[in-house]
Structure 1
Amino acid sequence: MKYGIIGAGAMGMRYGVMLQENAGVDVDFIDTWEPNVEKIREQGGVSVARDHENRRIIPINIYYPEEYAGHPDVWIVFKKQMQLADEIERDTKAGIFHDDQYCFSAMNGMGHFEKLEKVFPKDHIVCGSAMIATRMDGPANVDFMGAEGTEVMHMARYNNEKPDATVQGIFDDFTAAKLGPVFSDEWQGMCMSKVVFNAVTNTLCTMFEMQMGQFIEYDGVRAMSEQLFNEAFDACERAGIHLIETRQEETDSVITVSQAYKYHYPSMYQDFSKGRPTEVDYINGYIAKIGREHDYVCRTHEFVVHEVHMAEMMRKYHQPQGNVADQPAEAEA
């Protein structure tokens, strides 16, 4: 099958490049960030490293929506939650969507599938969640974090039906791309499991400007995680959402995943450090919203949403710290 990537950022590049390089399928990239598009064209592709090593230029096809005339079988969407509605409107006006196409997305947070449903039939939408860390350090410059073969992701149909031939084909291509796909029976619990995880690691690492490895050095991480997870699980249970992991498994995963990506700054901090709005309203804020809709107040999640927004406000007084993962080891003490 042929794929089109909407959003040539960190994760869009990760999926598109791995599909192109490992699965050998045709991939086109659509992006609206002009510095990124023009840099890729200038240098003949995207600069890709894995864990800061073996950096190379990988040629890719990249287009603005208005100049794209291709017809991929599947769109893969990776935009920031707050940018998606405008992206869909621009892409629709450009005429790049067609009735026979499927759409896959594993964006952070929640709220995107309702927007995608305005363009694609419900049975053509494939929901995803990805435990895959990627950095974008500048236009046309990405770093795949984690050893090859450690990628893990989940996918389920938006209508919760069994895979049809196209969805099975997507799964097979993702497998060949070494993205580590796993089928789930129900999309909402699958995606909320990732939201609940991000509500701990992304949010707390951003507030304290920490890498994930630094985060788990603190002795109170388990207690903090359990407090946030318990609120999230309580809210989801009242809403009839059944997460694919238990409370204990979510807590344990904070440690194991942070150890695997110890030099990684979560995507929320990457946005925060570059002066962009964070997605905290679509992560902790979404959990709090579910709770209030079912007569349960997630007080800790509501509090940390305010804390992140306060940290965003404080950027006008001082700049976030640099990425110490890029500094010489002796400078990290």
Structure 2
Amino acid sequence: MKIAVIGAGAMGLRYGILLQEAGNNVDFVEPWEQSYRSIREQGGVYVSRDHENQHLVPVNVFLPSEYHQTPDLAILFVKQMQSEEAMEACHHFIGENTYVLTNQNGIGSVDIIKKYVPDQHIIAGIALIATVLDAPGKVDFMGAKGAGHTHLANVTEKPDAFTHQVVEEFQKAGMNPTLHTNYLGTLWGKLLMNSVINTLCTLMDITMGEYVAYSGAADLTRRLIDEGYAAGLADGVRFMQSREEMAEIIYHESSEVNPLHHPSMYQDMVNNRPTEVDYINGYIVKVARKHQLKAENHEMLVDLLHLAEAAKQLKAGKD
């Protein structure tokens, strides 16, 4: 399969390299010029696993303006706030038969992708795979080989032959895909997890395991889940887990799967990059307001996260 990965950040690199190692023809289209230049100068991407065995993996990388091939599949893996700019820069190589897949954190990019691709060619979903970008062109795969899972869903909720081919390639790449026919339910499951783990771990400068070890974590998790469920149900979301099951997933992922992991929002914060809080907790607040509901806990977390971003920028300016 001919695949173009738009964005060579942590998750874009992991998806692309795993799919390349599984035998696919993969190109990286990188809008971030610093990352593009690092990968070109290195002759590839430095890959580690759990901070060990760093090695160089040769890859093809292009700026959007340089890329003129037509992929079977384009995987969008930039930050949510960069989706509009990335799709505008890359739409020239999206052919009439090209599918676009996104497993980004938060919700919002599908509405942007729809401007360039018909609904039947959009595959969305979520990634339960921990990955860290140590520096441009240097990535650390967290967890044992084959660890982590992906969940995919067609926006139309009608899987076709190409979607099943994508699932097959993901399986060959050790990404443990599950294909669903509940598009919004799939996305909202990860949205709720991120609204708890990403935001709180970032604000408090703690790992996922340290969060769930806190005596009040279960109550805090439940309050955030309850607000999210109320907003989602009002918006017509068919949740795939009960509130109790969602809380258990958050606990399991944090205590057993990635207890030492700092989520991606934390990585953005420490590297002075804008976070995606507006597309995670902020999205829940937006949907709640749409239905005249309150999501006060999520609203407070959005404000606190932005305050933390501003404080870090202020401190960086003084140093």
Percent identity over paired residues: 40
Give the alignment partner of residue 213 of structure 2, picking from 213, 217, 223.
217
Work out the CA distance in 2 between the residues paired with 1:100 and 1:240: 30
8 Å Cα contact 2:120-2:155 kept in structure 1: yes
What is the DSSP-based 3-state SS (H/G/I as helix, E as strand, rest coil) of the residue aligned with 1:28?
strand
Give the structure 2 partner of residue 154 of structure 1. Answer: 151
The answer to whether structure 1 residue 47 and structure 2 residue 49 are counterparts is no
Work out the CA distance in 2 between the residues paired with 1:212 and 1:3: 32
Structure 2 unmatched runs, 5+: none
- In the TM superposition, what is the alpha-carbon distance from 1:272 to its structure 2 partner? 1.0
Q: Spell out structure 1 runs of 4+ moving beyond 2 A.
A: 316-319
Query: Cα deviations across residues 85-130 of structure 1 (Å, max 9, x unaligned)?
Result: 11112223xx212111001100000110000000111000001111
Query: Cα deviations across residues 267-314 of structure 1 (Å, max 9, x unaligned)?
Result: 111111111111111000101111111121111111111010111111
Query: Cα deviations across residues 217-264 of structure 1 (Å, max 9, x unaligned)?
Result: 211111110010011111111222122121111111222111221221
The answer to whether structure 1 residue 303 and structure 2 residue 300 are counterparts is yes
Tell me which amino acid in the other structure corresponds to 1:150: A
Tell me which amino acid in the other structure corresponds to 1:128: G
Which runs of structure 2 are paired with 1:180-219 in the superposition (5 Å)?
Answer: 180-219=176-215
Give the structure 2 partner of residue 35 of structure 1. Answer: 34
Structure 1 unmatched runs, 5+: 320-333
The answer to whether structure 1 residue 168 and structure 2 residue 167 are counterparts is no
Tell me which amino acid in the other structure corresponds to 2:18: M
Give the structure 2 partner of residue 247 of structure 1. Answer: 243
Most deviating of 210-219 and 54-63 = 210-219
- In the TM superposition, what is the alpha-carbon distance from 1:69 to its structure 2 partner? 2.2
Query: Cα deviations across residues 178-207 of structure 1 (Å, max 9, x unaligned)?
Result: 101001111111101100110000000011
Work out the CA distance in 2 between the residues paired with 1:10 and 1:62: 15
Work out the CA distance in 1 between the residues paired with 2:274 and 2:231: 26
Work out the CA distance in 2 between the residues paired with 1:176 and 1:195: 27
Give the structure 1 partner of residue 228 of structure 2. Answer: 232
8 Å Cα contact 2:71-2:95 kept in structure 1: no
Give the structure 1 partner of residue 290 of structure 2. Answer: 293
Work out the CA distance in 2 between the residues paired with 1:194 and 1:159: 19
Which runs of structure 2 are paired with 1:1-333 in the superposition (5 Å)?
Answer: 1-21=1-21, 23-92=22-91, 95-161=92-158, 163-259=159-255, 260-318=257-315
Give the structure 2 partner of residue 327 of structure 1. Answer: none
- In the TM superposition, what is the alpha-carbon distance from 1:318 to its structure 2 partner? 3.6
Query: Cα deviations across residues 38-78 of structure 1 (Å, max 9, x unaligned)?
Result: 11111211001111112111010000111112221000110
Query: Cα deviations across residues 311-330 of structure 1 (Å, max 9, x unaligned)?
Result: 111113446xxxxxxxxxxx
Work out the CA distance in 2 between the residues paired with 1:239 and 1:35: 40
- In the TM superposition, what is the alpha-carbon distance from 1:149 to its structure 2 partner? 2.1
What is the DSSP-based 3-state SS (H/G/I as helix, E as strand, rest coil) of the residue aligned with 1:216?
helix
Work out the CA distance in 2 between the residues paired with 1:287 and 1:317: 28
Work out the CA distance in 1 between the residues paired with 2:83 and 2:115: 12
Work out the CA distance in 2 between the residues paired with 1:77 and 1:292: 29
Tell me which amino acid in the other structure corresponds to 1:84: S
